[in-house]
Amino acid sequence: MTMHSTMKTRLLPALTALTVCLAPMAQAAGGATPDEIVAKVKEAAAMLARDGAAGLAQINDPGGEWVWKDTYVFALDCSDKSVVAHPVQPELIGRSLTDIKDSKGNEFLVYMCLASKVPGGGWVEYWWPIPGMGADQAVRKISFIQQVEGTPYQVAAGVYDETVSLWTLNESSR
């Protein structure tokens, strides 16, 4: 066994444990939790169900209540296949869902539309740059999405998280 493989064998479990331990600390330091994401998406869905298209302006406000901690709510129209509200990247509004891909080439917004059809909503994972870090710095992001009753809209919000299981999130949000 080489020194490199010995170090790798010893360090990998330690680094994995450190990552698992630090992820909750990052959330405790001000990052949104998956439970907060679900609650905020449900709140935004209720607002859009009440206000309809007029509510999209509230979601688009970068200083509004739908931008909080380290995340934000955005909205899609899956029937029209377009982004209809995005407070952090307004240049995405009006773009086709199939034109927007994550860093691995996945049409993740199409997957979000599928997840929104699940009663109560669902979680989707994709690889997206952290705002302000550069497009080449994409990391795993998980977003919760749900249909807005009585409208063509779906609302979502997400968090950057390398550790939480997508299966666990989808099971717990049902």
- In this structure, are 124 and 164 located in the same domain? yes
- In this structure, are 1 and 79 located in the same domain? no
- Residue 136 CA, chain-centre distance (Å), reads 18
- In this structure, are 13 and 83 located in the same domain? no
Q: What pLDDT, on the 0 to 100 scale, is given for residue 75?
A: 98
Report the candidate in 64, 65, 63, 56 with the shortest Cα–Cα distance to residue 85. Answer: 56
- In this structure, are 145 and 84 located in the same domain? yes
The 3-state DSSP class for residue 20 equals: helix
- In this structure, are 10 and 24 located in the same domain? yes
- In this structure, are 17 and 66 located in the same domain? no
Count of structural domains, the chain: 2
- In this structure, are 123 and 48 located in the same domain? yes
- In this structure, are 7 and 53 located in the same domain? no
Burial class (CB in 10 A: 0-12, 13-18, 19+), 109: buried
pTM here is: 0.80
Say if residue 12's pLDDT is above 60: no
- In this structure, are 79 and 13 located in the same domain? no
- In this structure, are 12 and 52 located in the same domain? no
H-type helices in 29-165, by residue range? 34-51, 55-60, 108-116
pLDDT tens digits, one per residue of 122-157: 999 999 888 777 667 899 999 999 999 999 999 999
- In this structure, are 13 and 65 located in the same domain? no
Q: What pLDDT, on the 0 to 100 scale, is given for residue 91?
A: 95
Per the structure, the complete domain to which residue 73 belongs is given by: 31-172
Q: What pLDDT, on the 0 to 100 scale, is given for residue 10?
A: 45
Q: What pLDDT, on the 0 to 100 scale, is given for residue 71?
A: 95
Could you tell me the CATH number of the domain that includes residue 152? Answer: 3.30.450.20
- In this structure, are 85 and 168 located in the same domain? yes
Report the candidate in 106, 108, 109 with the shortest Cα–Cα distance to residue 75. Answer: 109
pLDDT tens digits, one per residue of 20-76: 333 443 444 589 999 999 999 999 999 999 999 999 999 999 999 999 999 999 999
